[in-house]
Chains A and B, each alone.
Chain A
Amino acid sequence: MKRRGRYVVAFDSLPVIISAASSVGKAEGEGPLSQCFDCVNSNDGIGSSTWERAEASLVKQAVAASVKKAAVKMPDIDVAFAGDLLNQCTASTFGLRDTDIPLAGLFGACSTFALALFMCAAAVDTGAVRLALAEASSHFCSAEKQFRFPLEYGGQRTPTAQRTVTGAGAALVAPEGEGVYITHGMIGRITDYGVKDIANMGAAMAPAAARTIADFLKDTHSQPGDYDMILTGDLGSVGSDLLLEIMQEEYGVDINNVHADCGKMIFDSQVQDAHAGGSGCGCSASVVCSHIIPQMKENKLKRVLFAGTGALMSPLSALQGDSIPAVTHAVLLVAKGGGS
């Protein structure tokens, strides 16, 4: 593990994502990526008596699917880095409590999955961890309950609002094996351009995404054209437009041709009433695990810079009038034969 430039870390041993899987809810299963997901639940209750337990069930399903795909056993996993949006990260903890896997809970809001992949790659790169689990989840209903209004409340959403994805993604990272390499990563800086509108998270997160992507390109002396895709987590349509503008104006970099956003992929905004797109930890986790990594394994995508975006406010900080700090963590995913 070596530092490249100011912020980027290179994982010299080339940790590999040997398997990745996801589990999602009903709306996600009806979206454009319906065929990709490993497990689609027909209702968002997932046989649980509370939304919080339903989210924990998603975690269980995604982890079990990833373990099965890799043909390993739960006790083989040396450490799990997992997180979600609920207070005290209960979905991850409750979802993993019967597994006996050593767990380090993470909070990075919607950037959690990118952060978890970074932590797994770093842990495996030390040589002391033989198999690491990255996991992140979110649930529309539990997120609404914690951050917004009760489900049955008859309110209207603004066009800039995003829909929290009901989904979980889990990936196993090992020192070697068949799969997708994590060659570089970086932990992002907190960026706050003063946005206070909690119904426009895309706008709050876009500056953080721009900063991390610009830092990454600078530190690795690379150009947008060197990537098949620069993938942001959940900026949605509003945040994505802002990202492209900020990249041009502040950093003089044009990423239009390679930029994609998980939040824009997961729902069909015209049909699914998702407004500006999907959001939540489960958004990028499920899209990366079930849509991006499989394409990389088939060599359809070779180099993907995955920049997970997170808005770090709490319901309290929003009520107290504070602006929304955001962060973006990035990992570079490289397919076999995709260059170093």
Chain B
Amino acid sequence: MEPEKYAKKVKASAPASPLLKNCVKAFFFGGLICLIGEALFTAFTEFNISDRNAAAWVCISLIMITALLTGIGVFDKIAKHAGAGTMVPITGFANSVAAPAIEYQTEGRVLGTAVKMFTIAGPVIVYGCSAASLYGFVFYFFIQR
């Protein structure tokens, strides 16, 4: 059978991902994380922390909570349902660093944990930094003036 013909057959026989259900769940969970972020922000500002610093503390808190939930094996069970809801916010990034760090402990602190820590998050860092540099360059030389 030609690959094109078989590809059509495969597509027809593969059950589709439940797109609507996934979107609704992602919206709910993603919104919930944002809500937690807002609540933390309000709490931090109550303690006379400036808005700018409070935003940083929110990030740090969410990263810590995610790393903890990843470590005790709960995060992936939530993420299985939440999908993009947990992956898109900073929780997704924190999980993608914490998960390989745990997994590769058995290969040692250096060649295991440290080397493999960024196997998933690496591309985000590389292209995130590249995009930020490009944006900064354009902003500094062309827009700011």
Q: Taking beta carbons and an 8 Å cutoff, which residues of A are in contact with B?
A: 49-51, 145, 149-156, 158-160, 193-195, 197, 200, 203, 207, 238, 241-242, 245-246, 249-250, 323
What 4 A-B pairs have minimum CB-CB distances, sorted nearest first?
A154-B79, A194-B3, A150-B103, A153-B99
With a CB–CB cut-off of 8 A, which chain B residues contact A150?
99-100, 102-104, 120
Provide 21 A-B residue pairs closer than 8 Å at the C-beta atoms, listed in order of the A residue.
Answer: A51-B106, A145-B103, A149-B120, A150-B102, A151-B76, A151-B102, A152-B70, A152-B102, A153-B76, A153-B95, A153-B120, A154-B75, A154-B76, A160-B15, A193-B1, A193-B3, A195-B6, A195-B7, A195-B10, A207-B1, A245-B9
Residues B73 and A154 in contact, CB atoms below 8 Å apart? no
| Cβ-defined partner of A193 (8 Å) among B6, B17, B80, B106 | B6
In whole angstroms, what is the CA distance A152 to B71 when docked?
A: 8
Residues B96 and A153 in contact, CB atoms below 8 Å apart? yes
Q: Taking beta carbons and an 8 Å cutoff, which residues of B are in contact with A?
A: 1, 3, 6-7, 9-10, 13-17, 22, 70-71, 73, 75-76, 78-80, 82-83, 86-87, 92, 95-96, 98-100, 102-104, 106, 120
Residues B1 and A153 in contact, CB atoms below 8 Å apart? no
- Known contacts A145-B103, A149-B120, A154-B86, A200 near B14 by CB under 8 Å: yes
Residues B99 and A151 in contact, CB atoms below 8 Å apart? yes
A-B contact sample (19 more), CB < 8 A, given A150-B100, A151-B102, A154-B92? A150-B104, A151-B76, A151-B99, A152-B70, A152-B75, A152-B103, A153-B76, A153-B100, A154-B80, A154-B99, A155-B76, A158-B14, A160-B14, A193-B3, A193-B6, A203-B10, A242-B13, A245-B13, A246-B1
Residues A154 and B87 in contact, CB atoms below 8 Å apart? yes
In whole angstroms, what is the CA distance A323 to B6 when docked?
A: 13
In whole angstroms, what is the CA distance A156 to B18 when docked?
A: 12
With a CB–CB cut-off of 8 A, which chain B residues contact A197?
10
In whole angstroms, what is the CA distance A19 to B37 when docked?
A: 60
In whole angstroms, what is the CA distance A155 to B120 when docked?
A: 11
Residues A158 and B99 in contact, CB atoms below 8 Å apart? no
| Cβ-defined partner of B17 (8 Å) among A159, A203, A246, A323 | A159
- Known contacts A150-B99, A151-B103, A203 near B1 by CB under 8 Å: no
In whole angstroms, what is the CA distance A160 to B83 when docked?
A: 17
Closest-CB distance, A46 to chain B (whole angstroms): 14
With a CB–CB cut-off of 8 A, which chain A residues contact B9?
242, 245
Closest-CB distance, A331 to chain B (whole angstroms): 26
Closest-CB distance, A58 to chain B (whole angstroms): 17
In whole angstroms, what is the CA distance A159 to B19 when docked?
A: 11
In whole angstroms, what is the CA distance A240 to B104 when docked?
A: 35
Looking across the interface, which residue of chain A has its beta carbon closest to that of B91? A154
With a CB–CB cut-off of 8 A, which chain B residues contact A246?
1
- Known contacts A152-B70, A152-B99, A241 near B13 by CB under 8 Å: yes
With a CB–CB cut-off of 8 A, which chain A residues contact B16?
159
| Cβ-defined partner of B14 (8 Å) among A50, A156, A159, A194 | A159
Looking across the interface, which residue of chain B has its beta carbon closest to that of A203? B10
Residues A155 and B79 in contact, CB atoms below 8 Å apart? yes
